[in-house]
Structure 1
């Protein structure tokens, strides 16, 4: 750690942000553009990696379909352990550059390498192919993206104690997420990229390599244009090493943090199942295979509220309160989801349901991380020390564990239903 600390003390690694208050350059470069590369790669993987595994590599036949059910769940157990360890490590990282930013720097090249390896699966025996897939999957999800995600999500809470400034940073962070998942992945991919890529393995490797390389300079941009002002407050002060057990006990005894964790568990389960099933749903229920229109229609209707939300959510949150606005959003979200569930094959009604659902999702999208940061401040006020790393490790553990369970459940349903990708179906015919 001392060697690591010494390297980061060099001038070349200093933040390019020096102001005591957050700046426009910091918001635009550090919180909007910077995270976009890694978030884009992750958004593409969330929607299309399973499609690549089933439709391009034909993995549904391995172990009678059990491989795609078991391996994601086992991998997320590893991921959960790494999350716990990283929370502990981040809280004990003390460098000139802060405690979270150094890990953003470290994650940048690993995200690029692992993103490429996920798709560049060599033609070899089934056993070796399985080993490659397990290794590359865990290198990205259990290592590279876990380190990035935990550090990235801590930047807004560690950047400032000013709730207004922190709220703006959270909005910029969320805009980056929505731009990548709601515009690039949901609009550009199904209309422009997927019809050309199809089920050609070489095309997939090319496009994913480009996206992976883009993530490297953008992640470095986030590192250089962020600043841990809250961490800097404790520089030079004697710091007590609070045990992991004590911090864990503190966060789970705080009712507000428990509520946020419970909400996030429900939200992430729903989001993962939606993302995994969306391509299949558009291909086989609402439209035809890779028609380039159906998924885009859903995304456009769903994306309009998200665009409007940039301007209206925070004024409404100030007027009615973050909690009240979020609760009202949940009700609308449920109404929209029920409409889609009752009429799953009627395009017009599904689009109406999507629109209502995404209006309801606005408060969650733009307010949740600000609420999380407020809760961390509340815990510090109550017990006298911060639990940023541990709290974020629990937050991420919920995300990855729920994600793995969802992938396993979804692939189990595909296998049970006898799903065969179009390519392999044509080969058999």
Structure 2
């Protein structure tokens, strides 16, 4: 099927400076990401004194709204027209709200009733994560698909992103507890540290905004008309690689949430020192950063899918080594290093895979809707993260965990170990299966060649009246 040709030639090389500017965006995003994924649950249970079940319920309900907000923001991005571009504009608009909402997360009324605390956490968590973070991070992720259509350049852009992002995550995760403890360890210390992080993050978001440029300007349909939601969702459902990547996002979210949240608990109660999480985080993140950067020359030769599959296997081996002696710091650190190496290839490629799936969907259906596809896929991430966060809260509460107690019950110790060591095996296993059936790397060059000529799949018969 042939449609009128559009300008598809935004496929030139991107400067290193622009790639670094793009990477700063995710360093900034990882401030709130690390705080909410790795430390907020610990703050609510062990500093504020809220029950793990209440926190889990709040996170579960919040993630339901978060998934809805993803689709809404995706539609808004697709329909955005501004002098700053389609996706890039949102990076600017959300910079100040991002910093303010992050600080509000930790200003829980210390002496209020449980009900008041729960309402406050629900409102501020949804403000920071459901609304502001989504309205920032989703357009930011979409921006990569609008900077270039060159598959290799997109991969390199996302390598800069995922090579730099763990730096922000590592600093926040590794430095926060020691920093806070040196400042007295109370709620005021948490707020002060978050203010510092937020100011730095806001500067980095401005660097991203001013340093990046949108070059891909393609009508959503060949007739340059707005896509009805029904047609947009129909084209999304027809995109098999959207489905696969959505499942990948779900599994990735499970692992990141389990590993980030439970590491603090595991270090405190199974290894005997909560501040060990700083050392273990560095041991895991440094190999991840190095692997993410070093993998760039191998993507074109071996493909994103193959490298990511190897990464999943290495991560499973890392967990297996930790299980050999789970209370030995040496075994835990060796396992963490291997997990970091395994995470690198997936972190370097998973977001550019979605950009590739957008091109596949354009070829497969004749409709291009970056915002909807990216946002709907991140719903998988949000659902995975939300279900996992709530699972953590419910399991800890059922096991008798008490954040203000000096010692925990035997069942609580077991729950902490299972959540940190056993459940991630399931996430990595499913992710590996998905990667095994992913074949877009093989077909991508041919698809792009057809798009350059204005040719679409014979199945691209979706019209506004179908």
Q: TM-score, normalised by structure 2?
A: 0.79
Given candidates 282, 306, 329, the residue that maps to 1:324 is 306
Residue aligned with 1:340, SS:
helix
Q: CA deviation at 1:349?
A: 2.0
Where does structure 1 differ by over 6 angstroms across 4 or more consecutive aligned residues?
A: none
Question: Equivalents in 2 of 1:87, 1:216: separation in Å?
Answer: 22
Residue aligned with 1:119, SS:
coil
Cα deviation code 1:297-343 (max 9, x no counterpart): 32233234223314431222222222122222222222222222343
Question: Equivalents in 1 of 2:25, 2:359: separation in Å?
Answer: 25
Given candidates 179, 186, 195, the residue that maps to 1:200 is 186
Aligned twin of 2:369: 387
Aligned twin of 1:6: none
1:210-225 equivalent positions in 2, closer than 5 A: 210-225=196-211
1:247 aligns with 2:232: yes
Question: Equivalents in 2 of 1:141, 1:307: separation in Å?
Answer: 25
Kept after mapping to 1: 8 A contact 2:180/2:189: no
Given candidates 147, 160, 169, the residue that maps to 1:172 is 160
Q: Relative to structure 1, is the Cα distance of residues 196 and 324 closer, same or farther in structure 2, using a 3 angstrom cutoff?
A: same
Aligned twin of 1:282: 267
Question: Equivalents in 2 of 1:96, 1:382: separation in Å?
Answer: 31
1:43 aligns with 2:43: no
Q: Relative to structure 1, is the Cα distance of residues 377 and 147 closer, same or farther in structure 2, using a 3 angstrom cutoff?
A: same
Kept after mapping to 1: 8 A contact 2:39/2:173: no
Given candidates 171, 187, 198, the residue that maps to 2:174 is 187
Q: Which has the higher helix share?
A: 1
Q: CA deviation at 1:105?
A: 1.6
Kept after mapping to 1: 8 A contact 2:176/2:193: no
Question: Equivalents in 2 of 1:159, 1:342: separation in Å?
Answer: 46
Kept after mapping to 1: 8 A contact 2:253/2:382: no
- How many pairs does the alignment contain? 396
Aligned twin of 2:420: none
Given candidates 54, 72, 78, the residue that maps to 2:59 is 72
Kept after mapping to 2: 8 A contact 1:55/1:199: no
Aligned twin of 2:15: 23
Residue aligned with 2:105, SS:
helix
Aligned twin of 1:13: none
1:269 aligns with 2:254: yes
Question: Equivalents in 1 of 2:19, 2:53: separation in Å?
Answer: 45
Residue aligned with 1:361, SS:
helix
Q: CA deviation at 1:28?
A: 1.9
Kept after mapping to 1: 8 A contact 2:180/2:186: no
Question: Equivalents in 2 of 1:162, 1:305: separation in Å?
Answer: 28
Aligned twin of 2:461: none
Question: Equivalents in 2 of 1:123, 1:368: separation in Å?
Answer: 40
Tell me how large the CA RMSD over aligned residues is: 2.4
Q: Relative to structure 1, is the Cα distance of residues 347 and 144 closer, same or farther in structure 2, using a 3 angstrom cutoff?
A: same
The 10-residue stretch of structure 1 (205-214 or 46-55) with the greater mean CA deviation from structure 2:
205-214
Aligned twin of 1:367: 349
Question: Equivalents in 2 of 1:358, 1:72: separation in Å?
Answer: 26
Q: Relative to structure 1, is the Cα distance of residues 207 and 301 closer, same or farther in structure 2, using a 3 angstrom cutoff?
A: closer
Question: Equivalents in 1 of 2:165, 2:293: separation in Å?
Answer: 16
Question: Equivalents in 2 of 1:38, 1:69: separation in Å?
Answer: 23
